């Protein structure tokens, strides 16, 4: 009884309820929560401590930033229903319906604008992004090995200069590269035309809302994309939507690290990913995932890379 009472005491405060409703939709940094609530960071931190003690949120440190997400007590059990019910009756919680959502939209827009600006300025230097981690030739060999066999209809999300389409396209029935940056698409299109890959094309598309029908792809690749995502879980859920039953999702990204300068220099939003985070997002999206390969850093100035491979369960046929 006492844990349940602690939960209700925690969510009875309007500011803490607003925090829960915010992070219910996406992970946010502490400073971003303070920006939305228009409260000081120390005050927000006190609210977060109370929420964390009751298991309603988890705080995850990534370098100098601390991200906040729903905790186990808010994901299962009666707490989630209580949060949604109280949002309609607690004084002040209704702010989320107007001003909080407006400011949250600004947080999203600021994140996206920072990334888009960097890509627009550095599109021609995109291959240098690969120099951050262990040798690209080894990463590409691991990708090819992880995606053995026929690839069917292939989609490369955040295609950049189109290298993944170039690498994997010859084994696909069709190959599509999606990116929301026009300059990247121009470079990718020129690259694929130069190698004569007739089955490949590129077009504008967002990782959170792909211009594709449900169950329209057999293989989907997210290569060094998630660390630019403000909501990696949503990107993986969108990938699951697009995959056909039996289809495969391959995520290639950085291992956890503390290269804080990459947030500014290269607009990384996340400093790598732990296995449990990526595999948890895959499971939440209805995918069966596992670690396909780990490629540790080969030098002190490099970062390690992990490949996570997930499959969308096939539809069961009734006997």
Q: Is pLDDT of 183 > 70?
A: yes
Weakest-pLDDT range from 46-50, 71-75, 104-108, 286-290: 71-75
Range of 3-17, 91-105, 111-125, 259-273 with top mean pLDDT: 259-273
Mean pLDDT of the 261-271 span? 84
Q: How confident is the model at residue 301 (pLDDT cuts 50, 70, 90)?
A: confident
pTM of this prediction exceeds 0.75: no
Task: Kindly give the pairing relationship between strand 152-157 and strand 172-179.
Answer: parallel
Contact indicator for 26, 12 with CB cutoff of 8 Å:
no
Q: Please give the pLDDT value at position 234.
A: 94
CB 306 within 8 A of CB 253: yes
In terms of pLDDT, which residue wins out, 264 or 220?
220
* pLDDT at site 26: 76
d(CA 4, CA 254): 38
Tens of pLDDT, residues 73-122: 776 666 666 666 666 655 555 555 678 888 888 887 887 776 667 666 76
Q: What's the DSSP call for residue 308?
A: E
Residue 193: band (very low, low, confident or very high) from pLDDT cuts 50, 70, 90 = confident
User: Which single residue is written with the structure tokens 């829960």?
Assistant: 20
pLDDT of 143 reads 97
CA–CA gap between residue 186 and residue 81 (Å, rounded): 47
- Overall average pLDDT of the 55-60 stretch: 86
| Res 310 pLDDT > 90 | yes
Supply the mean pLDDT for the chain: 84
E-state strands within the chain: 28-29, 57-62, 65-70, 152-157, 172-179, 200-204, 217-223, 243-254, 288-295, 305-311
Residue 200 has pLDDT above 70, yes or no: yes
- Quickly state the pLDDT bin for 136 (edges 50, 70, 90): confident
Categorize the per-residue pLDDT at 290 as very low, low, confident or very high, splitting at 50, 70 and 90: very high
Coil, helix or strand at residue 283: helix
Higher-confidence residue of 184 and 272: namely 272
Rounded to an integer, what distance in angstroms lies between the CA atom of residue 150 and that of residue 152?
A: 6
Distance, in Å, from the CA atom of 7 to the CA atom of 252, rounded to the nearest integer, reads 37
- DSSP code per residue over 100-137: HHHHHHHHHHHHHHHHHHHHHHHGGGGGGGGGGBS-HH
188 Cβ contact partners less than 8 Å away, ≥ 6 residues apart: 159, 160, 161, 162, 165, 177, 179, 202
């Amino acid at each position: 009884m006492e844990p349940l009472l602690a939960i209700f005491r925690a969510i009875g405060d309007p500011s803490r309820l607003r925090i829960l409703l915010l992070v219910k939709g996406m992970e946010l940094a502490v400073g971003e929560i303070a920006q939305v609530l228009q409260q000081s960071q120390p005050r927000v931190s006190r609210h977060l401590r109370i929420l964390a003690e009751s298991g309603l949120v988890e705080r995850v440190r990534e370098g100098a930033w601390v991200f906040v997400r729903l905790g186990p007590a808010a994901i299962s059990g009666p707490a989630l229903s209580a949060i949604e019910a109280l949002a309609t009756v607690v004084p002040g919680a209704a702010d989320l319906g107007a001003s909080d959502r407006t400011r949250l939209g600004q947080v999203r827009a600021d994140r996206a604008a920072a990334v888009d600006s960097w890509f627009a300025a550095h599109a021609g230097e995109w291959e240098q992004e690969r120099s951050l981690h262990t040798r690209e030739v080894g990463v590409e060999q691991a990708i090819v090995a992880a995606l053995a066999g026929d690839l069917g209809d292939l989609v490369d999300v955040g295609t950049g200069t189109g290298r993944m389409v170039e690498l994997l396209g010859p084994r696909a029935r069709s190959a599509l590269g999606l990116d929301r940056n026009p300059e990247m698409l121009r470079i990718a299109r020129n690259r694929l035309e130069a190698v004569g890959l007739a089955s490949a094309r590129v077009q504008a598309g967002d990782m959170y809302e792909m211009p594709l029908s449900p169950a329209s792809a057999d293989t989907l690749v997210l290569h060094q994309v998630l660390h630019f995502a403000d909501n990696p879980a949503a990107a993986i859920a969108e990938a699951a939507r697009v995959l056909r039953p039996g289809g495969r999702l391959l995520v290639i990204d950085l291992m956890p690290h503390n290269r804080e300068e990459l947030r500014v220099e290269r607009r990384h939003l996340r400093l790598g990913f732990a296995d449990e985070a990526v595999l948890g997002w895959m499971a939440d999206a209805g995918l069966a995932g596992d670690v396909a390969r780990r490629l540790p850093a080969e030098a002190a100035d490099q970062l390690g890379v992990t490949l996570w491979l997930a499959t969308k369960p096939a539809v069961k046929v009734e006997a």
